[in-house]
Amino acid sequence: MTAESNLRILLAARPEGRPKPADFRLERAPVPEPADGQVLLRTLYLSLDPYMRGRMNAARSYAKPVEIGELMEGGTVARVEQSRHPDFSEGDIVLAHSGWQAFALSDGAGLRKLDPKAAPVSTALGVLGMPGFTAYAGLLTIGRPKPGETVVVAAASGAVGSAVGQIARIKGARAVGIAGGADKCRFVRDELGFAAVVDHRAPDFSDQLKAACPDGVDVYFENVGGPVWDAVFPLLNDFARIPVCGLIAQYNKIDHQGADRLPVVMREVLSRSLTIRGFIQREFADQRPAFYTDMAGWIADGSVRYREDIVDGLENAPEAFIGLLEGKNFGKLVIRVAS
């Protein structure tokens, strides 16, 4: 391995608002050598996800922030290049969390072997991975859709939103998606089988959404916040359930000051008996075996479809990530680091 170097992407500065390329630093380091009980991993695919924006801030959150000068974190699919661990062999393909780097050492903790014959290994970062499980656990545990109910999901062409709407359809609910742009809306409606889809960029977005939900909204899977929340909120039925997965419209904001709408929201929560529940997918880890079985079956029989947006080259991760926060990706965003 001495002929190669380990490309790593570090956090160079905490972003003020929208991240910029200067907030990241690329460095090349020697490829590490595994000690007894370790494996050397070569990253094949790196997952880029909205939650990473929160890790770039120093504010208190559900997970420790990335410190200045530290490696950007993220889920990966990797190949075992060298093994000094009894449970892993050279050539094994594993799901890991080794961050934005080409090579990494692992003691085996948290690694999950993947079967390349069962599905493309990149799907372990998307529909068969954390985003798919987030959709599955959040919708079914918190949203609890019933046949005939209306389920609305924002960012419906993305990794989480696309799975939410399709699972809702499988459970007999009416899935209404919100996406940005004609191509994404067409994909959500024609390829994913949503009952309706509304473009949040349309000048009459609120009116279109109301027309798409004539019976109101029983479940709203929140990925976005901001103006989309404003349009959905008046349509919520009594006893509606709102799983809160993300607030991507707010991640880059510097000043969160504004009119205090909390009293109005809380009044409606009370009067309409609404359930609003934030969650992190790891809270439902006991559901992962059922998820893997169900999702693999749905993909196999065509009930669930997926789309990946693959960008080649680890050095392009910062630009791709900045675009992700602006909705420029189309499907699950993945960096292909090596073949």
Tell me the pLDDT tens digit for each residue of 270-296: 999 999 999 999 999 999 999 999 999
In the predicted model, what is the mean pLDDT of residues 126-139? 97
Helices 159-170 & 288-300 angle (0-180, nearest 10):
80
> What's the pLDDT score for residue 258?
59
Q: Is the pLDDT of residue 265 over 90?
A: no
Q: Which residues contact 285 (CB under 8 A, 6 or more apart)?
A: none
Q: What is the pLDDT of residues 9-31, one digit of tens each?
A: 999 999 988 899 999 999 999 99
Question: How far apart are the C-alpha atoms of 50 and 245, rounded to whole Å?
Answer: 11
pLDDT category at 34 given cuts 50, 70, 90 is very high
Q: Is 27 exposed, middle or buried (0-12, 13-18, 19+ CB in 10 A)?
A: middle
Least confident of 94-103, 170-179, 258-267: 258-267
For 253, phi then psi, to 5°, come to -75, 140
Question: How far apart are the C-alpha atoms of 303 and 162, rounded to whole Å?
Answer: 12
> What's the pLDDT score for residue 254?
55
> What's the pLDDT score for residue 256?
52
Q: Is the pLDDT of residue 145 over 70?
A: yes
Q: How many CB atoms lie within 10 A of CB 247?
A: 18
> What's the pLDDT score for residue 252?
55
What residues are paired with 29 via a beta bridge?
6
Q: Give strand ranges (E) for the chain.
A: 5-11, 24-30, 39-47, 76-83, 93-96, 103-106, 112-113, 150-153, 174-179, 196-199, 217-221, 236-244, 275-278, 308-312, 332-336
Q: Is the pLDDT of residue 75 over 60?
A: yes
Q: What is the pLDDT of residues 216-256, one digit of tens each?
A: 999 999 998 889 999 999 999 999 999 999 877 665 555 55
> What's the pLDDT score for residue 226?
87
The DSSP letter of residue 213 is -
* DSSP string across 227-285: HHHHHHGGGEEEEEEEEE---GGGTT-S-------HHHHHHHHHHTT-EEEE--GGGGG
For 336, phi then psi, to 5°, come to -90, 110
Q: What is the pLDDT of residues 167-217, one digit of tens each?
A: 999 999 999 999 999 999 999 999 999 999 999 999 999 999 999 999 999
Complete domains list, the chain, with CATH: 5-126+306-336 (3.90.180.10), 130-285+292-298 (3.40.50.720)
Tell me what percent of the residues of the chain surpass a pLDDT of 70: 96
pTM of the model: 0.90
Residues 39 and 106: beta-carbon distance below 8 Å: yes
Tell me what percent of the residues of the chain surpass a pLDDT of 90: 86
